[in-house]
Structure formats: C-alpha cells, structure tokens
Structure 1
Amino acid sequence: MKILHTADWHLGKKLEQNERTEEHQDFLNWLIVKLKTECIDVLLIAGDIFDTGSPSNTALEQYYRFLRQVKNTCCREVIIIGGNHDSVSTLDAPKELLRYFNVHVVGGVPEVFTDQVIEIADNEGNIELVVCAVPFLRDRDIRLSISGETTDERQERIRIGIAQHYHNFVEHISTFKLQGIPVIATGHLFAAGSSTSDSEKEIHVGNLAQVAGDQFPVEFDYIALGHIHRPQVVNKMEHIRYCGSPIPLSFSENDDAKQVVIVEFKGAEMTSMKVHEVPCYRKLIRIKGNLEQVKSKLRLLEDQQCKYHSWVEIQVLTEANIADLEEQLHHFKADKPFIERFFIRQHKLKPAKSLEEMPEEAFSLQDLAPKAVFIKCCEAEYGEADFTDLIESFDEIMEQMNQREN
C-alpha cells in the first residue's frame, strides 16, 4: 500500500497579479506521472487546494481535469480535505458525485463525526488502510464562545479543542489497530515549532494554540499535514510531516526544495517513507541590501535553467526615497535574458528608538482601534505620501468581515 502526501496547491494563486497557472499545471502533470511510475494506491491532499474561497474557472478546471486524469493511473482512492483558504461549500458541493470515482472530499467537519473516518479496501473488500480525514478546524468546530475570556484563555481552549478532536478518533479506530490495519490522519493546522514563510496566513495565532507533535494520539501511524509551505518534520517525530507547497508561493520560499512524501505500508508496518523533489519550473529570487549591494548581487546572478524565466524581488534598504530606482536597475535585465520581471521595493531605514520611548509606544498601541493601527503602519511605510486608497480598501475589508461575523 503506497500513499502519496501533498498539500497547499493554492490553485489560482497570483504573485502581485502575475499568473501562476502554467507552473501549477506543470506540477499537476508531473504528479500524474509520479502516480503512475510509483504505482501509488492512495493520494492525500491536505488542504488549501485553492487560493481563495471563490476560485476562478481556470483553477476549477485544473482541479477537475486533474481528478479525471487520476483515473488513468493505478491510484485507487483520492482523499481531499479543506484548508483555511478553501470554501467548505465549494469543495463539498460535488462530493457525492466524486465519491463514485473513489474521490473522498471532507471540506469541513461533518455533522456525523465518523464521516471523517474513511476505509480503504482492496478488490475483495478487505480493509487495508484507514484515513482519519480531518480538515481545517474552525473555532466553531472545536470550542464554544465564552464571553469575557482573555486572549490567552481563548488560545488555550483552541489548542485543547484541536488536540481533543484528534483524540476523539481513538475509540473509532481501536478495532482497526487490533486487526493490524494502519491508520493515517490528516490535518491543516499550525504545529508548534513549525517554520513558516511569508505566504502563509496565520490560522491560530499564538504559542498556546499550536499543537505539539506529542499531543497527537500515538495510534496514528502517519500524520499528513498541510498549511505550512516549508517541508518539515514536526518535533523530530518522523511520522508527522508537512510536505509543503509544490511551487514557491512567495519570495520567502525561494530556497525551499519543494516535495511530496510517499509512504509505504506492508500490513501494519511502515516499510518506507521517501521524499520526492518536485521540479522547479520558475525560480523566485530575493535580493536585499543597500543600492550598491543590490547592484553587485544582480551582476552575479546566473541562469537557473528553469522552464520559465526567473522573477526577482529586490529589496533596497535606504534612508531616503530613490525616485529613479527602477531606471537605475532596469538595464540589468538587458544583460540577464533569463530574468523576466523585477519586483522592486524600497525599505526605509528607521532610526533606533530609545528604551524610554519603546514602553510608552507599546502601551499606547494596546489602546488603539484596528484602523488607527493600520494608519500608523501606513505612515511609517509611506511617510507623507497619499495612501487614501489603502484606507478605503481597509474600510471595505473591515465591513466585509463584520458582515460575515454577523
């Protein structure tokens, strides 16, 4: 029994309005080939299939075309869980139809708890594997609101709720364990000690809400996690893993080796766990320093030999705004034909604050409303420049959030 673990596709994801559709399609094509060559029995997709709750028609077409192509491989079952970016209703809408094609979708926590327990059987009907398909756990799934609770109390209740949700499976999988059937769990969460990148949106913020590896039930033979885009092992426990995103979703992931994980069982015993690196189709490069340092690093850039031309983020550290910065850097592209696009940012160096100033500022920040904090951030970033459009966008977002909460 061979299982392939992948996650965080973020189909439809753009990088500052620049399409990533071709890179995603290349990965999906590679994955179909991998399912065939490795003769994978079960495919696990651990959340964030789409980048937004309202995916584009192009993203939806990629998703359904991929599921159709899986049927031409030796992969017998596909299990998909929802992530924090996914819409539960979007994922769940076709699940009854997809079940006829052995595609199991758990977009959100179902009303019947045991609907998360998926049995994988052979052609004779003998159960070979059990998957506890746990999607992203929202607050309403794991805790009751308590008026007057502090932030720390709320975070502690979230952490306990997440851990308890997994422990609730123990009574439902004990029979399978006694029969020597391996049990796998999925999850889309932030485990304690995980290393994040800029492209991840925090799920449950704060150390108290992070579930440590030893808080998962020992009955799980492998735990396939999603949300963190950097591949990593949780708490040095090899069987609890983030496979990471298949393509770099931000410049902070420029040095990450993208991968999928293939786990093999013979009966109840895990006989193999191998990492398979995903090819890099477009290199994202980050350059940071003062103007002279940036120019020096640009001169040294070499062709990364990828399918698509590189995108380069340039962070210039400066004490004053450089009006002609783009003009100064533009000619470097002429000498580097493998570079398609620059993403240029100026970061103003701020004078260090005295110790006397810092406590006063920290105290006053606690008393500010969210909009006031946002305005201060804009002032710190843009100085006297006009950022009215950002304030208007902030007001619109806050209004949408209020409507959803109500």
Structure 2
Amino acid sequence: MNPQTQLSLALPDDTAAPKSRRGLRVLHTSDWHLGRALYGRRRDAEFEALMRWMVQTVQRESIDVVIVAGDVFDTTTPGVRAQTLYYEFLVQMHRSCCRHVVIVGGNHDSSLFLQAPAALLRPLGVHVVGHACEDLSDQVLLLRDHQGEPELIVCAVPYLRDRDVRGAVQGADLQAREEALVNGIRQHYATLADLTRSTLQGLSHPVPVVATGHLYAAGSQLREGEGVRDLYIGTLGQVHASVFDPIFDYVALGHLHISQRVGQQDRIRYSGAPLSMGFGEANQQKSVFVIQFEAQARNQHEGFDFEIQAVVVPVFQKLMQVRGDLPHILETLRTLQDDGTSCWVEVLYDSPEIVGDLREQINQRVADSCVDVLRIRLAPRFLEQGQTGVVEVDLQDLTPDEVFEQCLQAHQIPLTQQPILRESFQAVMTRMHQESKQEEAPLA
C-alpha cells in the first residue's frame, strides 16, 4: 500500500504516547457499513472522519485489542474508497498501541471477500473470520502479548447462515426451520465453549474470554428505520441470552444498530452502529465500548471482572427528520438554515391538506443553503389511507416490507389473514437473502 494514501488516518502527535493502565483493554465496535449511501448521497467524508476518530480513540484509550463484530461493509462488493479506508485502518492499528484486531463477517459482508486476505493480514495482528470454519477450533483465537504470553481468548463467531449450522429441513414449516436454526446456533456456541475450556486448561495462567456474534438476541430493542434495510430481522434465528456460556466473560455483538445490553446482562452487549445509518437513527447517541479486564481472574474457575466505558462517537454529518404540516416544515428548515450547520433532512409531510407544489416550496426554502433535503415523503398514516397525491412515492423509497404492506391494503386482505401472510413473506425474504449469499462471488 502506498504510504501516501494513509495520511488521512494518520495519528496526531499528541496521541502518540499511550497512558498507563492496568489490565487488558478491548474496544468493541460493529456495523460500520463502509460505503453506504443515503438516498443516493455518498458519505465518504463521514466514513473517513469515523475511521480517523477510531484510530485516535484506540491510541487515546490505550486499546490492546479491537473487535469488529460484523458488517464492516454495506454491500458484498464494496467500492474502492470503502476498501481503502478499511485497509488504511488496519495498517494504522499495526502502527499503534493495539496488538490485535479481530474482525468477523456480518450479513452485509461477503464472507469470501473478507476471508481472502486473512493469511496476509495475520502477521499484522489482524485476525479475520469471515464465515464459520469447518474445524471450529480455528475460531478459538488465542491472542498473545508482545512477550508471547497468552492474554486473551476470542471465540470469533461471524454471522451464521443456514448452511453453517444445519442442513435444509425439507418440507418443514417456519417454526421447525426456526427451531433447527436456533438449535444449530446454540450448538455452535456450546462447542466453542468446550474448546475454550480445553484451551484454558493448557495455559499456565487464566486469561479473559470474549465471544463475538452477529445475530438478533431475544429481547433486544428495535426501532423503526433502524438502518437494517433490505434484510429480515424478525423472529427467525432469534436466540436467547442463555446461548452464551458463562465461560465467555464478555460477548461482543453486532447486527442491531442500537447500543444496548442483552437480557440485562452487562457482559452481553451490542455496541451499535457508530454512524446513523438512516434518518430513523438521527436522534440516537452513537458509541463504542471500551472493556477493561482486571489483571487477575477472580479465581481459576470464575473468570474476570471488568469495567465498561461507552465512548461517544461525534456527529460528523447532522441528520434530521422534520415532520408536520407545511408551515411547521418551512419554519423548521428556516431555523436550521440560521444555525449555519450542514444538515441533511428527511421531510415527513403530516397534514390532511393537499399542497400541490409541496416539493417546490421546500426546495425553494433551502436553495443555496447549508440545509439539504434528501427526501420528501408522506407520513406513514397517509400512505396507509392511500393519499399519495401530495408527494410522489418512488419504489426505491420503500422497503420490501412497506411494499408488502401496501399490497395487503390494496388487495383488501382480511385482518385475520394478514399475520400468516406476513410470516410467510418474511420467511421468503430470509431464504432469498441466504441463497443470494451462497451464490455471491468475491470481488476480483
């Protein structure tokens, strides 16, 4: 890699010296979705700022190990700029205080693309597990310090696809397929837990154990517009917190974009996406987690105590959702203009009054200003009522779920029949997504 291409992520001089600390320090992040656009608007500047901030945070917080719990990229064929940012970050980690980076594949990632350079990256302290390994012991990573002494075990579990944990259940209904998938995931983690115990027995001293996952854990918080578009998050493959064996001192999860605990357990957490992936996430405070393990285990069998710090990610591009009637929308846009900060806006028109030139009035208000309206649409309740005369509704602005809901309304499907149809639709979407992943090819 040309060193000149790495200048954008270079560390400032005042972060060069790590501060003294006690115990191992791990940074947990996930769901970067590098390369993602927002309604056609490229976000390269945001992603570059995020990667620069991530590098500086690793150095400032004296991080020993970085864990990225899936969805590094937004698509299976990431663009050149997204790839460049990814590899620049890994090179900067090698030059920093960080000794190891562990990366697992997510459902948006191409497992083949991530895995391809794994052998080349390993000498840099970068450990990539893009897909489930045939030999699960290859997913139990024993990480060592500069003196060669064991310091951490990471059970690196990527997004587990249907083919990874069970064979196809021919003719089975949705419930049977779900049970088979969940049992397969449970067995996968149980096998890794047993392998971890065997590994620990062979060490001269205990070390902390971290497991990763890219999945939907039961009871986790979901919100509309969370940013996981074009894939199914529902109940299929939903696992309970009991899947994670007590041998795992900490479980670093990805897939959901909201930072949260699972099952009220501090040791099982989603870091959430570090950037708002859509306007529905605009009001969420984004963060990464820093976990500091105590230098000594509680005892030989009970694992390690730890402290968790949420490090807030700055907002690199302001997003805002403006909802209301036309006077409220125009006044809010004027206030945003007066603020002088670059702001991308989604307008939700929420009024029974028909305004034929709504788009023209909004565009005129924000012309030649720091406010950029990326999307104008009707509030959901007006779409349900079929009032589409105010603003045109493009198919690309709708998710598959929204299209399906409109089909249910258009065909006047009885309310009693809608739940089973939704369940079948979600099962089909899940199957299509899994099959498309099986057919994917790595980027040349």
Q: TM-score, normalised by structure 1?
A: 0.83
Select which of 318, 339, 344 maps to 1:283: 318
Change (3 A) 1:175 1:167: same
Pair 1:253 & 2:286 matched: no
Paired with 2:377 and 2:54, the residues of 1 have a C-alpha distance of: 35
For residue 326 of structure 1, what is the aligned residue in structure 2? 359
Pair 1:186 & 2:219 matched: no
Pair 1:162 & 2:177 matched: no
Change (3 A) 1:331 1:13: same
Select which of 300, 310, 317 maps to 2:343: 310
For residue 153 of structure 1, what is the aligned residue in structure 2? 176
Paired with 1:100 and 1:304, the residues of 2 have a C-alpha distance of: 49
Higher RCO by CA contacts (8 Å cutoff, separation 6 or greater): 2
For residue 377 of structure 1, what is the aligned residue in structure 2? none
Letter in 2 for 1:108: H
Letter in 2 for 1:233: R
For residue 378 of structure 2, what is the aligned residue in structure 1? 346
Change (3 A) 1:401 1:202: closer
CA-CA distance at 1:311 after TM superposition: 0.3
Pair 1:267 & 2:296 matched: yes
For residue 103 of structure 1, what is the aligned residue in structure 2? 126
For residue 222 of structure 1, what is the aligned residue in structure 2? 250
Secondary structure at 2:347's aligned position in 1?
Answer: strand
Secondary structure at 2:258's aligned position in 1?
Answer: coil
Paired with 1:304 and 1:225, the residues of 2 have a C-alpha distance of: 37
Letter in 1 for 2:252: A
Paired with 2:375 and 2:412, the residues of 1 have a C-alpha distance of: 33
CA-CA distance at 1:49 after TM superposition: 0.5
Paired with 1:264 and 1:297, the residues of 2 have a C-alpha distance of: 43
Cα shift readout 1:91-114 (whole Å, capped 9, x = no counterpart): 011111001111110000112111
8 Å CA contact 1:117, 1:131 repeated in 2: yes
Paired with 2:271 and 2:421, the residues of 1 have a C-alpha distance of: 40
Matches within 5 A, 1:4-403: 4-177=27-200, 179-197=205-223, 198=225, 199-201=227-229, 205-207=233-235, 209-265=237-293, 266-268=295-297, 269-301=304-336, 309-319=342-352, 322-333=355-366, 337-347=369-379, 348=382, 350-351=384-385, 360=414, 363=417
Change (3 A) 1:275 1:239: same
Change (3 A) 1:187 1:202: farther
Secondary structure at 2:124's aligned position in 1?
Answer: coil
Change (3 A) 1:350 1:32: closer
Paired with 1:223 and 1:203, the residues of 2 have a C-alpha distance of: 23
- Matched length: 372
Identity of aligned residues (%): 37
8 Å CA contact 1:128, 1:267 repeated in 2: no
Letter in 2 for 1:314: V
Change (3 A) 1:283 1:127: same
Change (3 A) 1:365 1:224: closer
Change (3 A) 1:359 1:350: closer
CA-CA distance at 1:300 after TM superposition: 4.6
8 Å CA contact 1:133, 1:186 repeated in 2: yes
8 Å CA contact 1:317, 1:346 repeated in 2: yes
Q: TM-score, normalised by structure 2?
A: 0.77
Secondary structure at 2:175's aligned position in 1?
Answer: helix
Paired with 2:340 and 2:56, the residues of 1 have a C-alpha distance of: 22
Paired with 1:115 and 1:28, the residues of 2 have a C-alpha distance of: 29
CA-CA distance at 1:152 after TM superposition: 1.3
Letter in 2 for 1:324: D
Structure 2 unaligned blocks of 5 or more? 1-23, 298-303, 387-410, 426-431
Structure 1 unaligned blocks of 5 or more? 372-396
CA-CA distance at 1:125 after TM superposition: 2.1
CA-CA distance at 1:346 after TM superposition: 2.5
8 Å CA contact 2:347, 2:373 repeated in 1: no
Change (3 A) 1:362 1:91: same
Secondary structure at 1:256's aligned position in 2?
Answer: coil
CA-CA distance at 1:279 after TM superposition: 0.7
Change (3 A) 1:204 1:25: same
Paired with 2:421 and 2:383, the residues of 1 have a C-alpha distance of: 27
8 Å CA contact 2:333, 2:366 repeated in 1: no
For residue 385 of structure 1, what is the aligned residue in structure 2? none
Change (3 A) 1:223 1:367: closer
Paired with 2:437 and 2:73, the residues of 1 have a C-alpha distance of: 24
Secondary structure at 2:58's aligned position in 1?
Answer: helix
Structure 1 stretch displaced more, 285-294 or 12-21: 285-294
Query: Aligned-pair RMSD on alpha carbons?
Result: 3.0
Change (3 A) 1:305 1:234: farther
Paired with 1:167 and 1:402, the residues of 2 have a C-alpha distance of: 25
Letter in 2 for 1:282: Q
Change (3 A) 1:206 1:215: same
Paired with 1:173 and 1:38, the residues of 2 have a C-alpha distance of: 28
Paired with 2:339 and 2:142, the residues of 1 have a C-alpha distance of: 44
